[in-house]
Chain A
Amino acid sequence: MNDRTLVAPAAQPVATEPFEPPGGLLVWIVIVVETLTFGAGLVTFAVSRRDEPAVFAAGRAALHQPLALANTFVLLTGGWLMANALASLRAGRAKGAERWILAASASGALFLVLKSVEWAEKLRHGLGLHHDSFFTYYWLLTGFHFLHVAVAVVILLGLYRGIRRGRYTAADHLDVESGGAFWHMCDLIWLLVYPTVYLLGGAS
């Protein structure tokens, strides 16, 4: 009887703690909601492409493929840098974490610059929001993703400041995990937007 009462309290946290996702439950609710929202937009895009294959094929042909590929590399590199920042912080290397997270923010900023260059080129050619249904989806999907990356860059810079001031340590870094999860969400969404909008021309 005594053995049971001794074992139960110790076993309880072990059984419940692993259900907590990295970064906490709140940021994961955001991730799931955002992913489903973008997913719905992408599925609608795919259905419209099936209905108007010629419009969507012409729209895809007008996109700057090498720039989109470069932007994908930049975003994936940002994800890698953020993962390194968190690993360094967990190991108690705050200076290293500072550098990695600053580099991750820079990659986010570079993504925003390259995307702006791509947009400027589209606008110069008169391919705005109301050009056709392909470009309506293009602007909405890439525009909302752009906003998410911009917010993530601000969050990363805030985390950089926090690490620099000693607010986040190896023992206390939940905010950094949450911010990192939000940043990776931008990766995940782009990994669906990129093939759907830029690579797939509509199968038949």
Chain B
Amino acid sequence: MSALRAEQAEQAEPAERAESAELPRALRANAITWLLLMGLTLTSFLVSDSLARAALLPILAVAAAKCSLVGLRFMGLVSAHPLLRVGFLVLFGALVTALWMASRAG
């Protein structure tokens, strides 16, 4: 009986090992994404003051990059079907482009 248990434990080990390695990897990837988002936020804040009116395009580009990071990494679209990723990027790309066009002087 104990030999059977030992055999079962041995068989389960690689799967458990893979699972336990998966979580730290995911947490590390999330932490990197979070740091990038914080860095980009700080950059756009500093750029908005130093570049004043010329900051429109860089700030909107940073906003688009941040939305992509949140969607692909935090919302898990990175492992979804490519069409879903494209749809998401097109939606936010179109919104940011519309904001850029609406903000430019007529």
Q: Is the Cβ of A196 less than 8 Å from the Cβ of B45? A: no
The 8 Å CB contact of B103, one of A19, A50, A92, is A50
A200 and B56 in contact, given A46-B102, A49-B103, A73-B38 (Cβ under 8 angstroms): yes
Q: Is the Cβ of B53 less than 8 Å from the Cβ of A203? A: yes
The 8 Å CB contact of A93, one of B23, B53, B59, B75, is B23
| Alpha-carbon distance A22/B55, docked complex (angstroms) | 34
Judged by a CB distance under 8 angstroms, whether B52 is at the interface is yes
The 8 Å CB contact of B19, one of A79, A91, A177, is A91
Q: Chain B, interface size: which category? A: 35 or more
A192 and B67 in contact, given A87-B30, A184-B74, A200-B56 (Cβ under 8 angstroms): yes
- Interface residue SS majority, chain B: helix
A203, closest chain B residue (CB): B56
| Alpha-carbon distance A187/B27, docked complex (angstroms) | 19
A83 and B60 in contact, given A43-B98, A203-B53 (Cβ under 8 angstroms): no
The 8 Å CB contact of B70, one of A18, A177, A191, is A191
- Contact residues in B for A177 (Cβ distance below 8 Å): 76
Judged by a CB distance under 8 angstroms, whether A199 is at the interface is yes
- Contact residues in A for B81 (Cβ distance below 8 Å): 18-19
A22 and B80 in contact, given A195-B63, A199-B55 (Cβ under 8 angstroms): yes
